[in-house]
Amino acid sequence: MAAVGPDSLFIALLTAIFVGAVFTIQVAREFINFGAGNIIGGVLSVALTRELSPVLTAVILAGRVGSAFAAEIGTMRVTEQIDAMLMLRTDPIDYLVIPRVLACCLMLPILTLLSLVTGMFGGLIIATNIYNLSDTVFLDSARNFLGIWDIVSALIKACCFGILIAVIGCSWGLTTTGGAKGVGQSTTTAVVTALLIIFVCNFFLSWLMFQGTGSAFLGM
């Protein structure tokens, strides 16, 4: 949990604050031109909560944590440490995989929430200092647009992504062959596979959670 959570916190928050700032830059001018500057905060909050925060945080962890899992377990495989565990009647799945899956499943939702808050802060800085929007209007808009289900959906996505990252990283590590070269190949393949599965899974989760017609915003 320490490796997945606190050790990944800085890079996750740094990414989130710049994502929130860039998103605000992209939409603020157009919204202000259409006389809709008062909903910029709401649009940013919905975008961060439903998509950007869980997906980008998962991408960061796939590159940082998923690769580490694959490399660590892959090295144990090629150096026959896992075979030694089997000789000692220790199940590698129970000892190596399950703790990592639980760590990712628990810590990724927390990182996602922190990334959401940080991304909103980055957007607030840009909106108030560059586009002269009121911070009260910005935050009120975010509060009006967001619903409980938006937060819950972000946590569900983050939990699913955490499980996928850990399972994919560990599975590629456990199936590593070919010495040091095989460890490198497993690490690379684990990251690429995790990223692909995250994007595909995100589509189906979004389809299940937000399909249908009608207003997508609570405050509209």
Show me where the domains of the chain are located: 6-207
> CA angle 81-83-85, nearest 5°?
75
Instruction: Scan for tokens 């000692």, then name that residue.
Output: 88
Residue 2 is predicted with a pLDDT of 87
For 34, the 3-state DSSP assignment is coil
pLDDT profile of the chain (220 residues), mean per 10: 89 94 89 85 92 94 92 90 88 90 94 95 92 88 90 94 94 88 91 95 91 52
CA distance 202 to 14: 22
For residues 121 and 216, give the distance between their C-alpha atoms in angstroms, rounded to a whole number: 23
Q: What is the DSSP letter of 84?
A: H
Query: Cα separation of 145 and 46, whole Å?
Result: 7
Residue 220: the pLDDT is 41
